[in-house]
Amino acid sequence: MAETYAPRDADETRTFLAWALAEEKPVEVIGHGSKRPIGRPVQAELTLDLSGLSGLSLYEPEELVLSAQAGTPVAEIEAAVAARGQELAFEPMDYGPVLGLPAGRGTIGGLLATNLAGPRRLSKGAARDHVLGIKAVSGRGEAFKAGGRVVKNVTGYDLARGLSGSWGTLAALTEVTFKVLPRAEASETIVLSGLDDHRAVAALAAAMGSSTEVSGAAHLPADAAVATGAATGGTVGRDGRAATLVRLEGVPVSIAHRADMLMGLLAPFGRIERIAGAPSEALWRAVRDVAAFTPDRAPGTVLWRVSVAPSAGPVVAAAVARAVPDSRAFYDWQGGLVWLCLPATPRGTDAAPSGTAADAGAATIRAAVAAAGGGHATLIRADAATRAAVPVFEPQPAPLAALGARLKAQFDPKGILNPGRMA
């Protein structure tokens, strides 16, 4: 059992990491551990628990800026900014439910370290697009800062963005500063039903290519629609048909106008319903947190998160379905984010290009992604043995992998931070 250290501030974090470096002891960095089951299981003698670094250090709503200690719960931050009519505009997803863990347990440092995003990724970006500055301790046991706390800044390298999505392998974040934005006054969802995946993604492309400022574009094939509907009180999937979702947000007068425009634009695609207010919000939370494929709704499955060009989404899902007939998919980001749910030991995989059962579908999925124009696939949910055996993150071409390794060596020369996590 790894020994856990829980520093109370950035200075104690630096002291601890300088000591771990001197002893060359590997360290697993965690906040609340809400995303701990993602990635390669880390073999570390020590655990650095940053949950003690908690609290907002600066919040200036009129400057659209917020700084918080890295261990501050995201839920606490969302509540604080909501009280001032603001939000983290990238709508960070909560991995808890889909990993079979409680909801609402992530920290703001973990959010940046894993570059979280939600349905608004395609219009407003991810955590990386909203981070303004960081304070951190590198694997050299040195405290440093980067960026700042103003919304426009090109002073020096953008290390704050460089650390986003680095899964704690370059530095342990101790404080982060984010841009916040006003929360929309209202939202509404336009639902098209019964479309096949290709037709649905074409409808989403038409909506996104219009001037109606769509802020969410998802497609739930029939079984995902039924499961999502069950999780949200039956907003979609009641008729057992696929649901294609387009979200509008803003001031009510604007939504009314844009909804009319979209109804005209999407009429050729089929029957349209409109969902407003709380049910609409609940529906997008369910899309964001992959409610269709939580372990209770999809027992005994592995879950993949695939990012491709939007038009390639259905192509990839179809290719995977041909190789693994029991696979299921749903699409966010206009089709560009594909959540793929595969049986842990899939049946009927004899025709698969490689041992699908052994590799959780990795070879099949990655071949489909490459054939469809490129992108990346991440294994999000699988048991530890599978995650230890399968490359969880997309393997990179040799020159990129070499550059990544050089960056790691610069920031963490002894490899003490989350060793193996991103491998």
Q: Which of residues 146-205 bind other proteins (CB under 8 A)?
A: 146, 148-159, 161-166, 170, 181-183, 185, 202, 205
Question: Under the criterion CB under 8 A, does residue 264 sit at the interface with other proteins?
Answer: no
Least gap, CB of 86 to other proteins (angstroms): 8
The nearer residue to other proteins, 63 or 296, going by C-beta atoms, is 63
Residues of this chain, 10-29, that bind other proteins according to CB under 8 A: 12, 15-16, 18-19, 21-23
Question: Does residue 122 bind other proteins (CB under 8 A)?
Answer: yes
Q: How far is the CB of 292 from other proteins (least distance, A)?
A: 20
Angle at 156 between CA 148 and CA 169, to 5 degrees: 75
Long-range contacts of 52-56 (CB under 8 A, 24+ apart): 52/6, 52/7, 52/8, 52/9, 53/7, 53/8, 53/9, 53/10, 53/13, 53/109, 53/174, 53/175, 56/80
373 binds other proteins per the rule CB under 8 A: yes
Q: How far is the CB of 399 from other proteins (least distance, A)?
A: 5
- CA neighbours closer than 13 Å in the CB half-sphere of residue 283: 31
Of the residues 40, 219, 258, 387, which one makes contact with other proteins according to CB under 8 A: 258
| Token pair of 390 as six digits | 């399968």
Phi, psi of 13 (to 5 degrees): -65, -45
Q: Which of 298/316 has CB closer to other proteins?
A: 316
DSSP state of 202: H
Our CB check for other proteins shows the closer of 22 and 371 to be: 22
For other proteins, which is the closer residue by CB, 80 or 407? 407
Q: How far is CA 335 from CA 72, 152, 213, 314, in A?
A: 33, 31, 17, 7
Q: For residues 29 and 226, which CB has a smaller minimum distance to other proteins in the complex?
A: 29
The residue (of 35 and 241) whose beta carbon lies closer to other proteins is 35
Q: State yes or no: residue 213 binds other proteins (CB under 8 A).
A: yes
Neighbouring C-alpha atoms within 13 Å toward the C-beta of 274: 14
Residue of 228, 267, 223, 268 lying closest to 241 (CA atoms):
223
Is the CB of 253 or the CB of 278 nearer to other proteins? 253
With CB under 8 A as the rule, give the number of residues binding other proteins. Answer: 109
33 binds other proteins (CB under 8 A): no
The least CB distance from residue 192 to other proteins, in Å, is: 17
Residue 137 to residue 146: CA distance in whole angstroms:
11
